[in-house]
Structure 1
Amino acid sequence: MFSLNYISCFVLKTTKTILNIYTTKSRLHLSPHSCAVALYKMSKLKLYITRPDVPEKAIALLKEKFEVAMWTGSGPVPREDLLRGVRGCDALYCFLTDRIDQEVLDCAGESLRVVGTMSVGHDHVDVPVLKQRGVLLGITPDVLTDAVADLTLALLLATSRRLFEANRQITEGKWTAWAPFWMCGPGLKASTAGIVGFGRIGQEVARRLRPFKVAALLYSGRSDKPEAGELGATRVPLGDLLERSDFVIVTCALTPDTREMFNDALFSKMKRSAVFINVSRGGVVDQAALLRALQGGVILAAGLDVTTPEPLPPSHPLCSLPNCVLLPHIGSATHQARTDMAVLTARNILAAVEGRPLPAPAF
């Protein structure tokens, strides 16, 4: 249901619009038809989009209901432009690169009804402030699950089989004679894979691991998952998972409980031959501890699609390690997944202003 403040703001805006048009009509002798067109345009809801590269399919949906304004520069919208653009908006379409906090909501004012973020994670949004103000939040689960699971396997194989390192042997002129154990790494067959966080993505990763003939699939979490039986996965305490796994794959959400959970203590529990993969959020890893683990041989290698910060500067020590594969947060980067995410974000926003349940609410 719409809040009283939202309805009051809409009525006030519409009344002012009608009075402005009536005054203008009298002064300029506009036709009734012209006034009606002006009223229609001026009474449409206002939406601000923080990037210009949203698929047209999503934009077309939104233009049916909204007067759409967007940041047209390259890269994430600068803070001052975000604060200026959101003023008086009924809806905000944002991304994980945008910090949506009390300052943004203050600038938006009482008219703001919904924030739609084109992401599953929403640690960039101040959820308590949204809840306090009755502003809804839409996210994009499910539609990116397969893309992220595919990328997880690709990253795992690139890390364990040393693909980037092997490629550099060619490009740097270091490929000479064949040797029995040159560029070797651990294989998946007969291994134990442990998944930390067994939600949608974690389960799809497990599904993709089975054809590689792993010996055991372990997962950790707060509760048993009914899907685990079908996937042949066993729930174990996190400590047991770390001690037993040849591959540790992180797909959990970033929460206060998981922030920097992978620290010196947890890395020390892993096998020295373990490969660590993170596709969740950079914040779940104490990066200084990971650097020490990789440099000191505490674990064998790491593959990261997410880091802190993002973008990670090329001068960061992780970038120079041969046993660390880094990707620029491209887990969902397929044309299909990103288009589906954009459309779902649009549908979340439309549902909110039409008084319908959001297809994918964050809370």
Structure 2
Amino acid sequence: MRYLCRSYEDFFKPSKSGRSKSSSKPREPPIRPWIEKYRPKDMNDISSQEEVVAVLKKTLESQNLPHLLFYGPPGTGKTSTILALARELYGPELIKDRVLELNASDERGIDVIRAKVKNFARTTVSGSANGYPSPPYKIIILDEADSMTQDAQSALRRTMETYSNITRFCLICNYISRIIQPLASRCAKFRFKPLDTTSTKQRIEEICRNESVNCPPETVDHLVRVSEGDMRRSIMLLQSAYRLYQSEPITKDAMSEIAGVVPEPLIDKLMAVWQSKNIAHIESTVNQVIKAGYSGAQLMSQLHDRVISDAHLSSIQKSKMAQTLGQVDKALGDGASEHLQLLRLLVAAY
């Protein structure tokens, strides 16, 4: 029995050779998301938002920052801009104590406003950083503020009024119409436009050089086109393609597959059955598309672009199809079945 226990212990004891091998094996460096690695560090790095940057730089000179409301499509630099502004105001050390960043889509209830936001807003600040303005107020960044409930926005309005002498708020949203008017009227509004292709292409080419990504020029152009002015999406797609292909060249088809873009031959087939008015063909084609697993929103977007650019369709046909596309897109946003909505689109448009 004693020998059995000894052999049992020896069985589970790690061997010296195994331990030495694992310790000698080099550890791989942690994978850092490129969207964070290449996030702009100062205001001069912000792309395609010249008017916004110019106004904020003037504000930096006076150090009298108002409450801010940044709105516009995703991936256009809204969060990066306010973080760069805060970094230029407080420096890398003081920013940890002076800036509170919350994602309002996760923490959007009235309890968060009463607890986290109000407690941070009421604390006074002191001290400064050498070489930085360090104004005597804090900044609270509420990202995706259009996801906040009406009650939370109403509570935030009162908090903004009470602590405006020691706290500034920056609300970031995609849809300004979802911000209540009493809250929006207390902020200086800045619209962020989709990035132009030149700025996006320059940043993608810079990342390709720094990370040794084998991405030919035609693939870069295709990536810029499918990202539709969303810098964050283009960088994420590029990193996904690099992790998959490593040193191999990344083709346009590979990038389309990663981005979930519907192939053009399939769009051609949908347009053909759409115009044929043959219910049997429409149903079989829709079944094929749904089984392929393509996104309904992506299908609507590409079909819309194809309809608008089709020279063979009359203005009346385009307007009817655009109206049906809008109804289907609304239904998909409300959670309707992609299969039924695509059938509805192809059957009802003509």
TM-score (norm 2): 0.31
Q: Which has the higher helix share?
A: 2
* Greater share of residues in strand: 1
TM-score, length basis structure 1: 0.31
